[in-house]
Structure 1
Amino acid sequence: MAEVTELLRGVAAGEPGAADQLYSLLYPELSRLARRHLHAVGPVTLDPPALIHELWLRTRGMVVPAYRAQFFALASRVMRSVVVDQLRRRHADKRGGGVAEVTLNTSALLEFAATPEGEPVTSPSSQAAQGMDPIRLDEALNALAAIDERAHRVVEMRFYGGMTKDEIADLLGVSVPTVKRDWRRARAFLFEQLRG
């Protein structure tokens, strides 16, 4: 853990080789995170190594957070962006080509939005998330970010990053009950955005 923090600080300070060492050290965890994102959207031409490579390319030159949890939140955000960008390109290329569209599975959305507090959906690969249109979900998440950035971050960290409520509360500097409220509010908002 201390080694990761040292490497993150080294990357932020521009130390030669620090970024390569960081990605090598975190590769297994980044690979798991990449698989979560890719499993959520079904077949795409990306695989975990390609998604990690895209993460590497997109974060070069960025200000990298100094703490592990913040880094993984950033990595999750960037991976989601890469996957959604690829899906948009694929849909644009195939539009009108007789290819079946990805559609929203309303029952899955209802399950996602109505999941009891004791059984939250914490993974894009969960039964509740299957069938959701990732592009519409991304648009709904962007709409959420425009009105409630913290709730948006809670969804990203919990749903895509697989973080616990305690980890999210610590990272955001808020209480666990606040994270729970943000999670409930975000799910209700996303339900309204996606069912229409």
Structure 2
Amino acid sequence: MAEITELIGLARDGDQVASERVFALLYDELHRLAAGQLRGEQAMRATSLVHEAYLKIAHHGALAVNDRGHFFAVAARVMRQIVIDHVRSRSALRRGGDLHFAPLETTAMQAASQDRDEEVLALDAALERLAELDAPLAALVEMRFYAGLELSEIATVQERSERSLKRDWRRARAFLQREIAGV
């Protein structure tokens, strides 16, 4: 982990080789997260998601993250943006449809791959409102729903207890479900 943190520091300062090395070292973990998002979908789609996320993260030639935890938080946000962009572009081609929002026990790519675009867009709008009120709760949802991280993994990355994250996860889900239901 110290090597990754050191490489991230070099990449943040514009070292392209260090940026590529960070990606290489974290590739398998990112691919696992993307594959978890797709659950049973084609492996090439997971690879595409990882590569597109990396390109967005390292777009300006410098990896603008502080450490491994921050890297995965940024990766979760970028994966969210990729999924939402994909769903929006697909939704622009069609209109209508019933909205039956499923619980947040799935991942964003699963929902998108099942043509539940309206659900993904409704969740994104609710997540924007949550971010305005409580940014850490919104970040937790991004890491769970968009990056597919388990609470135990998030606890390690954020150096928080899994118990407090479970409590936050329940609060975030309740807020999002109320927002989506329009209560």
Please report the TM-score for the alignment, with normalisation by the length of structure 2: 0.76
Residue matched to 2:91: 91
Residue matched to 1:161: 147
CA distance, structure 1, for counterparts of residue 88 and residue 111 of structure 2:
22
Residue matched to 1:80: 80
Unaligned runs of 5+ in 2: none
Residue matched to 1:34: 34
Instruction: Say whether the 8 Å CA contact 1:12–1:63 is kept in structure 2.
Output: yes
Q: Does 1:192 align with 2:174?
A: no
Residue matched to 1:182: 168
Residue 71 of structure 1: CA displacement? 0.6
Of 52, 55, 64, the residue aligned with 1:54 is 52
- Alpha carbons of structure 1 residues 57 and 138: separation in structure 2 relative to 1, 3 Å: same
CA distance, structure 2, for counterparts of residue 104 and residue 69 of structure 1:
35
CA distance, structure 2, for counterparts of residue 70 and residue 4 of structure 1:
12
Note the aligned Cα RMSD (angstroms): 3.3
Residue 56 of structure 1: CA displacement? 2.3
7-16 vs 83-92, which moves further: 7-16
Residue matched to 2:13: 13
- Which letter does structure 1 place at the counterpart of 2:67? Y
Residue matched to 2:100: 105
CA distance, structure 2, for counterparts of residue 141 and residue 39 of structure 1:
23
Unaligned runs of 5+ in 1: 113-120
CA distance, structure 1, for counterparts of residue 181 and residue 158 of structure 2:
29
- Alpha carbons of structure 1 residues 173 and 78: separation in structure 2 relative to 1, 3 Å: same
Residue 192 of structure 1: CA displacement? 0.7
- Alpha carbons of structure 1 residues 35 and 175: separation in structure 2 relative to 1, 3 Å: closer
**Larger helix percent:** 2
Q: How many residues align?
A: 176
Instruction: Say whether the 8 Å CA contact 2:69–2:158 is kept in structure 1.
Output: no
Q: Does 1:134 align with 2:117?
A: no
- Which letter does structure 2 place at the counterpart of 1:49? T
SS at match of 1:47: helix
Q: Does 1:124 align with 2:90?
A: no
- Alpha carbons of structure 1 residues 39 and 135: separation in structure 2 relative to 1, 3 Å: farther
Residue 81 of structure 1: CA displacement? 0.5
- Alpha carbons of structure 1 residues 38 and 176: separation in structure 2 relative to 1, 3 Å: closer
1:21-60, CA deviations, whole angstroms, 9 ceiling, x for partnerless residues?
22122211111222233459x89xx812222222122112
CA distance, structure 2, for counterparts of residue 30 and residue 176 of structure 1:
21
1:153-178, CA deviations, whole angstroms, 9 ceiling, x for partnerless residues?
12222333344546545655666554
- Which letter does structure 1 place at the counterpart of 2:100? N
CA distance, structure 1, for counterparts of residue 22 and residue 15 of structure 2:
11
